[in-house]
Structure 1
Amino acid sequence: MGRLLQMICSLNVLLILVGVSLSGAILDANYYHKTCPQAEDIVYTAVRNATIYDPKVPARILRMFFHDCFIRGCDASVLLDSTPGNKAEKDGPPNVSLAAFYVIDDAKTKLEQSCPKTVSCADIIAIAARDVVVLSGGPSWSVLKGRKDGRISRANETINLPAPSSNTSQLIQSFSQRGLSAKDLVTLSGGHTLGFSHCSSFEARLRNFSSAHDTDPTLDPKFATDLKGKCPKPNTDRNAGQFLDSTASVFDNDYYKRIVGGRGVFVSDQSLLGDYRTRWIVEAFARDQGLFFREFAGAMVRLGNVGVVESGEVRVNCRVVN
């Protein structure tokens, strides 16, 4: 098993070092080397400055990248505003809690000043997602660039986003439809190390769970009691909820340790331990943070290639098509 993981990691590094074509368009780590060499520095500065003032920015940007790539591919369709004739992705039910769009707007404004009509909004999100991980103490990787921005964004398509109540079989199928493996599923779920959830996403596990169990039996009993205290019935605090690991501002492997201990917040988190296809990966990451970091870098590269196509545009304003 150790040799297999070592080979997988080596392949991930190879994909990071060279441009790859997984969906029709060639992406390149040096795509803006001549046309906008300062692009990554501009994005990093915008992300860093926003994070200083709002510690929630890293989790929000990372979630934004995932939600963008999982619908129409990594084309920045999640950034488009709704219009009188179209309700856009950001206003779909799973996305109404997305935030930090202003960080992307800020980076885009500065990029338009330095390199007009050059850097796509889709690439800005991909770079920003890497930067928030690094700023939180996680791994770095070379972001492959050259994406174009899509012109279509539909709220009704967000129903295809994985739900917190999904089981592992449903999640594996969803990831597979996007060319991602079960290992990618477990690895990318590790982004929850920076996450927070409101009670509505997990309170069904706490009371009247099934005819046989009032509380989800996969929950650690003490943790279940703690969650009930944070999410009482009735609950008048709309901001009440729970961090998805105990070091919520630090990118680490505590998320996996908590799953092993029965303290995964979502059904989608805890179910990863109960399925033979994913259990060994959860346990491996819980033991070895370095392994998780190496795998996460490779998985983010693969996620960033989902649905990338050559058609599209470079938006001047990330919120509207040109």
Structure 2
Amino acid sequence: MAKVKYYYDSENLAYTKIKTKKRIKIGYGFLFILASALFGFLIFVLLINTSYFETPKDRLQAREIENLKIQYAILNKRMDEIDDVAEALEDRDNNIYRTYFNKTEIPDSIRKAGFKDSKRYKDLEGYNNSQLVLNTTKRIDQLSKELAIQSKSLDVILKLASTKKNLLAAIPAIQPVQNENLKRVASGFGYRIDPFTKVRKMHNGMDFTANTGAPVYATGDGIVARADNSASGFGNHVVIRHGFGYESLYAHLSKYNCRPGQRVKRGDVIGYVGSTGRSEGPHCHYEVHKDGKVVNPLNFYYGNISAVEYVAISHLANQENQSLD
């Protein structure tokens, strides 16, 4: 029951009942309704932004988000599997295919290089699950780039494989002097004592001692680039360009059995053992060059000797003795 309010009338010396005007009552009522509506609206806004009050639409969106998270987790698991396969393929590419065909391996700095564009993923930022989407997108882009590099690498290997027959024929793969004519391997590749100055210096090839006139064989298919005695110290010598970056040199010959420009096959007689030029006795000084750099010929004698013979030659060639030139 509403309280009745009075005021004291000093003129009549009596309490008079306060009568509230109708429009004021209506105003109070309106203010109450307005305040109640505002309060209710605020409570509604708070409730819909909490987990205690979900609309059917919110529940549907929540389920879709959870489903997307599961799908992204499955996608990342599959990418882990693809990444493992890609790693194995890269390992075979670098350590088997490229080694077999004498190609330099592709470094990780190229295979694993990222993207330099800092704004590449800008559109994916600012959302509730941005990090999940961003990380997955980056992984997909990285895998796509690695697979593209691997695909190009395999194209190169495929091209090399198509010329494998020519490559194998071109590699200097036999001894320049046959074992039945060979007295010994006098000196191998590495630092040796110079026979004239008695100073230790680099010996860029191998010396095969044999009687003067013993045949010297081309160690791989190629074209004779030189057959002369104009190079200092080598005397009569032959240079064969095999292709694929390989060259071989045969020095101190007594005479030639080929001419510049002539195409020769592995096993063809290109000259004969001698002691011309800077030499201490009849022998064939033999060198192998790959891509312009001298390499140890011992690594290439797989075409006409057994494993036992290779071990014996390796033992003799690695002794740091005196060379013959």
- The normalised TM-score by structure 2 is 0.21
Instruction: Tell which has more relative contact order, 1 or 2 (C-alpha 8 A, sep 6+).
Output: 1
Name the structure with the higher helix share: 1
Larger radius of gyration: 2
- The normalised TM-score by structure 1 is 0.21
Name the structure with the higher strand share: 2
